């Protein structure tokens, strides 16, 4: 077990913030934002106690809330509408470009220029079938789109 996997975020006495309560325990192998692997358990009684005490959902909805917190974040991007290529990119996306990679339109975001994959960023980078989509998005990002 590495030093990073034994880290515990400790706060003062009592529950004050979720970050102070997160206990990182080795169980599942994950990647951080820099692409480095670490092991952690996506479970913390302190995290659950904190959010249960916030009463952000009913007790019946709480297990679904916790399950959603344990999921990886989807990969999301916006098209910069002031760029000359924006219309072409938006046309491609609306016609289903990337649809086999699980791309969908984010309807609630203003300007209708936001899209999300049902995969995490690391899924796009590491999965051989999805790598081409990551390369295209990376190219768009590097050219200011």
Mean pLDDT of 51-58: 93
Cα separation, 31 vs 8, in Å, equals 18
Check whether 6 has a pLDDT greater than 60.
Answer: no
Q: Does the structure show a pLDDT above 70 at 65?
A: yes
Q: Per mean pLDDT, which range of 29-33, 46-50, 100-104, 140-144 is the poorest?
A: 29-33
More confident residue, 32 or 82: 82
What crossing angle do the helices spanning 62-69 and 45-54 adopt, rounded to 10°? Answer: 130
**Of 35, 54, 57, whose CA–CA distance to 125 is shortest?**
35
pTM over 0.75, yes/no: no
């Amino acid at each position: 077990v590495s030093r990073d996997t034994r880290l515990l975020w400790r706060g003062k006495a009592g529950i004050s913030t979720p970050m102070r309560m997160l206990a990182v325990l080795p169980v599942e192998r994950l990647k951080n934002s820099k692409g480095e692997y670490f092991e952690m358990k996506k479970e913390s009684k302190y995290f659950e106690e904190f959010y249960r005490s916030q009463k952000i959902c009913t007790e019946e909805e709480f297990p679904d809330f916790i399950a959603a917190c344990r999921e990886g974040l989807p990969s999301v991007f916006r098209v910069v509408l002031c760029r000359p290529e924006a219309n072409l990119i938006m046309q491609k996306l609306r016609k289903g470009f990337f649809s086999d990679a699980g791309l969908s339109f984010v309807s609630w975001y203003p300007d209708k220029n936001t899209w999300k994959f049902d995969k995490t960023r690391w899924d796009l980078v590491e999965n051989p079938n999805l790598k081409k989509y990551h390369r295209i998005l990376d190219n768009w990002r590097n050219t200011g789109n």
